[in-house]
Chain A
Amino acid sequence: MRSTCEAVATEAEYAVALADDALVASQRLVEWVARAPQIEEDVAIGNIALDLLGQARLLYQYAGSLTDPPRTEDDLAYFRDERAFRNVCLVERENGDFAVTMVRLLVLAAYQRELYDRLARSVDPTLAAIAAKAVKEVAYHRDHARQWVLRLGDGTPESHRRTQTALEAEWPWVSELFDGGWLAPALVERGVAVAPASLEEPVLAFLREVLDEATLAEPDPRPAVTAGREGRHTEALGHLLTELQHLARSHPGASW
């Protein structure tokens, strides 16, 4: 498959990687529903998680249509093992407190906002259409996370301390978003994919502006050793997938 339709296969892998980011982030966010600080936040987080799930579904459907034999969105979400997942490690790690979730969402949404904004001009019309739909959603996610980070960072001494701690914990996982080593260069050259490195400056510029306004200090860069895009994950992903995939694997082919 790789030799005869390599370009197509790598494009499918690209779509799968973006979908995996969205699916895994969605699953982590859902853990907050019924446990958020307010019932209003339960609904907000639920909405955001559903937006991400919708993006993942569109990307999986498209990726599955590019491979031979074709795969369904369920094949890709439920019947791949940990090593086949291509999401960044940022999104898979345990939740921690609410500050961790909002800082992580801020980083993810800032990245997705710049990514989808550019991907909406992809030469691949399907990817472009998915990105054009998603960019409005992630712009709202980014705003939601920004509002919370501003209030937590510039709130009480306790909320400031927790948010700064969350930032220190998330920061090492940010640089993986901008590492394009896993991506076939031809995809970027042909204008199908967005070069991850090109997103670093706008994403960090946005994050710095928020951190500054939130009276939070940008941590020193100490990138974690990550290879989520190559399928090497932290311990957390296996546990997340166990829960996510349990029902589909216990009852293959079940429907509502």
Chain B
Amino acid sequence: MVSASSTTGGELWEVFVRPRRGLAHVHVGSIHASDAAMALRNARDVYTRRQEGVSLWVVPAAEVRASSPDEQDSFFDPAADKAYRHPTFYEVPDALHL
């Protein structure tokens, strides 16, 4: 059994809420908790008290691998001048209503 709150109030967990059926879970913020069960409950109390969701995920923040700000140029800039990746180079027939 994981011990109750330490001086830091437990580890950090990232919280994802699915606002309604058919939509994807969206990151809404983070909370502290001693373990996964408490993290789910804390997330419920902090992020879904005004009917924001129908499903919750909690993920240990330490398990999230994030891209580094130093790598921003090599990661994202190359996409900037490649307009041909966007589906804009053909006519949509009038009969097709998107």
Instruction: Please report the number of residue pairs spanning A and B whose Cβ atoms sit closer than 8 angstroms.
Output: 53
Of B3, B4, B34, B42, the residue contacting A44 (CB under 8 A) is: B42
Min CB distance A211 to B, Å, is 14
A40-B46, A147-B37 as given contacts; A159 in contact with B9, CB under 8 Å: no
A151 within 8 A of B: yes
Interface string of A34-59 (1 = CB under 8 A from B): 00011111011001000000000000
A250 within 8 A of B: no
Residue of B nearest to A154 (CB): B1
Min CB distance A99 to B, Å, is 9
A255 within 8 A of B: no
For A159, list chain B residues within 8 Å (CB): 3-4
Among B8-48, those with CB < 8 Å from A are: 9-10, 31-35, 37-38, 41-42, 45-46
B64 within 8 A of A: no
Interface SS of chain A? helix
Min CB distance B46 to A, Å, is 5
> Is there contact, CB below 8 Å, between B4 and A43?
no
Among A22-42, those with CB < 8 Å from B are: 37-41
Min CB distance A220 to B, Å, is 26
Min CB distance B48 to A, Å, is 10
Size band of the interface chain A makes with B:
10 to 19
Interface string of B36-80 (1 = CB under 8 A from A): 011001100110010000000000000000000000000000000
Min CB distance B60 to A, Å, is 15
B2 within 8 A of A: yes
> Is there contact, CB below 8 Å, between B5 and A38?
yes
> Is there contact, CB below 8 Å, between B41 and A155?
no
**CA A37 to CA B33, docked complex, whole Å:** 11
For B42, list chain A residues within 8 Å (CB): 38, 40-41, 43-44
Of A37, A44, A152, the residue contacting B41 (CB under 8 A) is: A44
**CA A47 to CA B42, docked complex, whole Å:** 11
**CA A43 to CA B4, docked complex, whole Å:** 17
For B46, list chain A residues within 8 Å (CB): 40, 43
Task: Write the residues of chain B forming the contact surface with A, with a CB cutoff of 8 angstroms.
Answer: 1-5, 9-10, 31-35, 37-38, 41-42, 45-46, 49
Q: Which 3 A-B pairs have the closest CB atoms?
A: A40-B42, A38-B9, A44-B45
Told that A38-B9, A147-B41, A155-B1 touch, could you supply 10 new A-B pairs with CB distance under 8 A?
A37-B5, A38-B5, A38-B32, A40-B32, A40-B33, A43-B46, A147-B38, A148-B4, A151-B3, A151-B34
8 contacts between A and B (CB under 8 A): A38-B10, A39-B32, A40-B32, A40-B33, A47-B45, A147-B38, A148-B4, A159-B3
